[in-house]
Amino acid sequence: MVETTHLIEIPLTVEIPVGPQHPALHEPLLLKLHADGERVVKVDVITGYNHRGVERIVEKNSFYRNIFIVGRVCGICNTVHANCYVRALEQLLDVDPPPRAKYLRVLAMELERVHSHLLILAIAAELAGYETLFMYLMKDREYVMKAKEILTGQRVLADYMMVGGVRRDLDEVKVSRLMDLVRRVEERVKYYHKVFREDATIDRRLRDAGRIKPRDILAHSLVGPVARGSGVKTDVRAQDKYDAYGEIPFNVVTEEYGDSYARAMVRFGELYESINMVNYVLAHLPQGNPVPDERKLPRRFPSNETFAAVEAPRGELTYYVSSTGSDKPYRVKIRTPSLNNIVNSAFVYVDQMIADVPIILGSFDPCISCMERAVVTDLRSGRSFSVPLKKLGGVDG
């Protein structure tokens, strides 16, 4: 009688922490990888290392002072944060800014989109192994930062938005300087686009890394260039037509394949669209005074609640503002695109190689400081306090 031996293979998984401080990550985030050899089988996304309690802070300050606070939720896209909050206040007060102010707001936000996309494309090049390309992209990004300084007075934290308009106007000399800077940026964007399309190493590193199907985009509520890279045509600028977006022509850029390369190509397409929008604004600025008199703005806001959305460089950003009739908001709730794209994207890493994890994360353009907010209220005592997401039950990924 022949005995048969049955072999049972038991897969061995290794837990590999990527973060919260890691050379491939630019912000504190922990990706807890479970790997079978070089293949990722599971990922836990753990946040909470960069919590600042912003929502609680704005509830203790006046509506107008908060314009400067929300602009510091994110240093890269501070203009869109301030714009979204200010438009929520304008809805409370039933204030409509003049056309010139709306055009200048679009100008500031599209310049911000250009420098944000150049930054994440530079990081993508760095993650692919091209540190020199990273440095060149960052050098030419300085043209945009200079343009933002000419428009708003600041390179980074603009503090440009205000209820009823903007804080600074443009004259013909500044318009001419902005046109010259944008022309230089466009030339460099064309060059870098050519590099990304033709370089074999970038192609091999980004192609098929983190491919997301359209149905998964919708199922996990992913937004911005991540969604558009998978062919999902969603853009708050086209849907809500806030400020002057209903008057300025532009296209919603999409790619179909859904991998890290497609997301990079969406950002290049949006760079061209943003540059065209900037040129259109500079050539078609309406007449009038875009700077309102702050002394005539009401100190107290009516009792009501409002909601505003904006297309930030990373995707849909929303602000909910509740007022009880005082000079301070009762509640300000901020939902940033990175909250959706980072917390809900753990499934994207499964079946990918460990070496591709930083590439995939970088293709989401993560902003961790944007998403670290939560306020808990004790109903018995009425006391509110801020907590990081990871301390809320069941929310560590």
Domains belonging to the chain, first-starting first, are 54-341 (1.10.645.10)
Kindly report, residue by residue over 37-95, the tens digit of the pLDDT.
889 999 998 887 877 788 888 999 999 999 999 999 988 889 999 999 999 999 999 99
With CA atoms as reference, report the closest residue to 64 among 293, 291, 300.
300
pLDDT in tens, 287-329: 999 999 988 999 889 999 999 999 999 999 999 999 999 999 9
> Is residue 14 helix, strand or coil?
strand
Taking the CB of residue 198, how many other CB atoms lie within 10 A of it?
9
State residue 384's pLDDT score: 56
Query: For position 17, what pLDDT does the model report?
Result: 82
| The pLDDT value given to residue 328 | 94
Count the neighbouring beta carbons within 10 Å of the beta carbon of residue 199.
16
- Statement: residue 31 has pLDDT above 80: yes
Asked if residue 217 lies in contact with residue 232, where contact means CB atoms within 8 angstroms, the answer is yes
d(CA 361, CA 222): 13
Q: How confident is the model at residue 4 (pLDDT cuts 50, 70, 90)?
A: low
The answer to whether the Cα torsion of 27, 31, 32, 33 is positive or negative is negative
Q: If you search the block for the tokens 């600025």, which residue do you land on?
A: 285
Residues in the chain: 397
Residue the block writes with tokens 């929008």 = 277
- Confidence (pLDDT) at 51: 75
Question: Per-residue pLDDT tens for 79-99?
Answer: 999 999 999 999 999 999 999
Structure tokens at 365: 């353009």
Per-residue pLDDT reduced to its tens digit, 237-271: 999 999 999 999 999 999 999 999 999 999 999 99
Provide the pLDDT confidence category of residue 374 given band limits of 50, 70 and 90. low
For residue 349, pLDDT beyond 90: yes
State yes or no: pLDDT of 200 exceeds 90: yes
351: three-class secondary structure by DSSP: coil
Q: Which helix (H) or strand (E) holds 17?
A: strand 14-18
Which stretch of 21-30, 297-306, 325-334, 348-357 has the lowest confidence by average pLDDT?
21-30
In angstroms, rounded to a whole number, what is the distance separating the alpha carbons of residues 388 and 397?
A: 12
Tokens of 297: 């703005």
Task: Note the pLDDT tens digit of each residue in 170-184.
Answer: 999 999 999 999 999
Burial of residue 155, with CB atoms counted within 10 A of its CB: 0-12 exposed, 13-18 middle, 19 or more buried: middle
3 state SS of 355: helix
Task: Give the per-residue pLDDT at 353.
Answer: 92
* Average pLDDT over all residues of the chain: 90
Per-residue pLDDT band for 16 (boundaries 50, 70, 90) equals confident
Give the tens place of pLDDT for each residue, 118-129.
Answer: 999 999 999 998
Angstrom distance (rounded) from CA 373 to CA 387: 7
Reported as a pLDDT band with limits 50, 70 and 90, residue 397 is very low
CA distances from 350 to 9, 39, 392 (A): 21, 8, 25
DSSP secondary structure of 82-129: HHHHHHHHHHHHT----HHHHHHHHHHHHHHHHHHHHHHHHHHHHHTT
Strands 165-166 and 161-162: antiparallel
* pLDDT the model gives residue 299: 87
Identify the band that residue 357 occupies on the pLDDT scale cut at 50, 70 and 90. Answer: very high
